[in-house]
């Protein structure tokens, strides 16, 4: 079965890696990669000894166990070769090789998807705004996408469900893990009435480094991302940064400049995000493009119209819209509760012109090691190879997390195409 080779390749490459897509430009299928001998693999530029060792590990036992589990509990697996794989994701950097999901998969490319994100430590007003926004977006026909975190994410999911709409939760853990534990019931409802989605294999516990990697999928699925509340160190600003890099529209709710929870959103507005106060402000951008999906007459107009000027994406992507896809239904969450300490995603993101940093004392040993190998503009894979040469090993997830931290701390500049340049 070809599916087992997709699982094998995703495990060998790791989440957030461009390696799988790179290999599939040299081979037709994951099975061909699996069957390739050492000399064939060595002939490919960029394949170092660590990558080679991973690809020559032909043990399929874990892949078969994952496949058997998914079949047993009705978890869907959507590969990059599947006709239902969204074109929007095909065009992003480091597209996921496969996605595990529970629930119904709408025809993503023929619908308007809006990511609604914000801080966990939000105000009561922020909760109310996110719930109202989720409900209005859903009522008008949009699909609401968020990350299942406490605070703004949870409120947006709940608002969409309350309005009878579809919501997609993109997880930073395995499909069998409940995180945060407080959202067990919400996850069950979304599995029945919406979609749970993740690139992490069943059994993967949540980890702080997973969430920045996950965010590219959250924003990549959507035409636009709206940030409701965010302090300057909110992880939701990483999603905003991903949306900008992917050429997506960016929206933000304004707030009191004296309130720290509004400083991140106000910063986004200053730097080009469209100021919004209701769903109609967002959907005005899409109702003419999707007249068969978006019906703004179902929702109230904002009390004060804010104009129709849209934020200009960095590099707009064209989406193709295939025919409607049959949805898959699934049941409730299964699996035991992991003993998980609460982790807060507190990376800072600055969309202003970056300032050069030299005080590496604030960095951890791993970040300093990664920074030390970057002397010129390099891709993540080139950086990984350099780290491997220096240390003997390199975990791609940990590397991407370090690159994110170095970028938002002012040591690196992320450039188009997944490259990084030292400042």
What ranges do the domains of the chain cover? 2-73, 87-298, 360-422
Interatomic CA distance for residues 54 and 65, integer angstroms:
19
Residues 6+ apart with CB under 8 A from 226: 114, 115, 116, 117, 133, 250, 251, 252, 253, 276, 282
Asked if the peptide bond before residue 108 counts as cis, ω within 30 degrees of 0, the response is no
User: How does pLDDT run across 259-273, given as a tens digit for each residue?
Assistant: 999 999 999 999 999
Q: What are phi and psi of 300, to 5 degrees?
A: -70, 150
Residues 6+ apart with CB under 8 A from 261: 119, 121, 122, 123, 126, 229, 230, 231, 255
SS3 272: coil
User: How does pLDDT run across 143-189, given as a tens digit for each residue?
Assistant: 999 999 999 999 999 999 999 999 999 999 999 999 999 999 999 99
**Which residue from 159, 389, 376 is spatially nearest to 279, judged by alpha carbons?**
159
Q: Which CATH class is domain 360-422?
A: mainly alpha
Tokens coding 349:
């993101």
Rounded to the nearest 5 degrees, what angle is found at the Cα of 374, between the Cα atoms of 368 and 377?
145
Residue 354's pLDDT band (cuts 50, 70, 90): very low
User: How does pLDDT run across 286-343, given as a tens digit for each residue?
Assistant: 999 999 999 999 999 875 443 333 333 433 333 333 333 433 433 333 333 333 233 3
pLDDT of residue 99: 98
Element (H, E) at 100: strand 98-103
Tokens coding 401:
């997390």
pLDDT of residue 336: 34
Tokens coding 361:
């004392």
Listed range (10-14, 97-101, 133-137, 395-399) with the worst mean pLDDT: 395-399
Q: pTM value?
A: 0.75
Tokens coding 175:
């499909």
Helix axes 396-408, 380-391, angle to 10 degrees: 110
| The CATH classification of domain 87-298, taken from the options 3.40.50.450, 3.30.70.100, 3.90.850.10, 2.40.280.10 | 3.40.50.450
pLDDT of residue 418: 67
Q: Are 272 and 332 in contact (CB under 8 A)?
A: no
Q: Are 135 and 159 in contact (CB under 8 A)?
A: yes
């Amino acid at each position: 079965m070809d599916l087992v080779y997709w699982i094998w390749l995703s495990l060998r490459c790791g989440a957030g890696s461009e390696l799988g897509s790179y290999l599939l430009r040299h081979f037709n299928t994951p099975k061909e990669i699996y069957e390739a001998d050492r000399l064939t693999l060595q002939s490919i530029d960029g394949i170092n000894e660590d990558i080679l060792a991973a690809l020559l590990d032909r043990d399929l036992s874990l892949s078969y166990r994952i496949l058997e589990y998914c079949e047993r509990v009705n978890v869907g697996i959507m590969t990059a070769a599947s006709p239902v794989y969204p074109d929007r994701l095909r065009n992003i950097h480091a597209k996921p090789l496969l996605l595990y999901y529970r629930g119904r998969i709408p025809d993503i490319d023929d619908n308007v998807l809006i990511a609604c994100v914000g801080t966990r430590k939000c105000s009561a007003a922020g909760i109310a705004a996110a719930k109202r926004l989720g409900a209005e977006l859903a009522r008008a026909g949009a699909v609401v996408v968020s990350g299942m975190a406490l605070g703004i994410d949870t409120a947006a999911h709940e608002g969409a469900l309350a309005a009878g709409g579809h919501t997609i939760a993109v997880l930073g853990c395995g499909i069998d893990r409940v995180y945060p534990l407080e959202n067990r019931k919400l996850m069950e409802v979304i599995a029945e009435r919406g979609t749970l989605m993740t690139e992490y294999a069943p059994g993967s516990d949540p980890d702080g480094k997973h969430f920045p990697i996950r965010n590219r999928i959250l924003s990549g699925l959507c035409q636009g991302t709206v940030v409701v509340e965010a302090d300057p160190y909110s992880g939701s600003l990483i999603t905003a940064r991903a949306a900008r890099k992917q050429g997506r529209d960016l929206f933000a709710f304004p707030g009191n400049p004296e309130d720290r929870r509004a400083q991140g959103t106000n910063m986004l507005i200053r730097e080009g995000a469209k100021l919004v106060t209701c769903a109609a402000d967002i959907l005005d951008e899409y109702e003419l493009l999707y007249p068969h999906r978006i019906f703004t007459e179902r929702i109230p107009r904002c009390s004060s119209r804010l104009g129709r000027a849209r934020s200009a994406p960095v590099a707009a992507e064209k989406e193709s819209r295939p025919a409607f896809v049959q949805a898959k239904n699934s049941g409730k969450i299964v699996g035991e509760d992991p003993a998980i300490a609460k982790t807060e995603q507190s990376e800072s993101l600055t969309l202003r012109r970056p300032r050069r940093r030299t005080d590496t004392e604030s960095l951890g040993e791993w970040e300093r090691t990664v920074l030390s190998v970057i002397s010129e503009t390099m891709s993540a894979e080139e950086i990984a190879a350099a780290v491997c040469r220096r240390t003997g090993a390199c975990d791609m997830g940990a590397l991407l997390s370090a690159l994110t931290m170095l970028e938002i701390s002012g040591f690196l500049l992320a450039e188009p195409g997944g490259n990084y340049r030292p400042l």
